[in-house]
Amino acid sequence: MADIILKLAGALIFLSITCGVARLVIGRTVVDRIVAIDMLTVVSIALIALYAHLSGRFVYIDVALVYGLLSFLAVLAIARFLERRR
């Protein structure tokens, strides 16, 4: 059961990264690309957590944590920059 769920999670992460990179390449406006990079950050955190479970090394969870904090800061700064420029 857990094996099926992990494989499903891997497939979903694969699909999400594909769609996000496609949106980044197509993306008409800058805001599209910002939302795409935000989504890809969340998917990457999920991928790191999945790999931490699969490999059994829980040090990798720390990387996901640090990344979650920092990516939030970067997207916030970009949004603030866009707001001030308008």
Partner 1 sequence: MLELLVILVCVGILASGVLAVWLENLLAAMISAGLASLFAAVSYVLLAAPDVAMAEAAIGSGLATLIFLYTMRKTDGGREP
Shortest reach from residue 1's CB to partner 1, in Å: 17
Query: Does position 63 bind partner 1 by CB under 8 A?
Result: yes
Out of 19, 23, 37, 53, name the contact with partner 1 by CB under 8 A: 37
Q: Which two tokens stand for residue 66?
A: 């640090």
Q: Do 20 and 40 touch, CB atoms closer than 8 A? A: yes
Out of 1, 2, 4, 85, name the contact with partner 1 by CB under 8 A: 85
CA distance readout (Å), 36 to 24, 43, 71, 82:
6, 10, 13, 16
Q: What is the DSSP string of 15-27?
A: HHHHHHHHHHHH-
Enumerate binding residues for partner 1 (CB under 8 A).
Answer: 7, 10-11, 13-14, 17-18, 21, 24-25, 27, 30, 33-34, 37, 40-41, 44, 47-48, 51, 54-55, 57, 59-60, 62-63, 66-67, 70-71, 73-74, 77-78, 81-82, 84-85
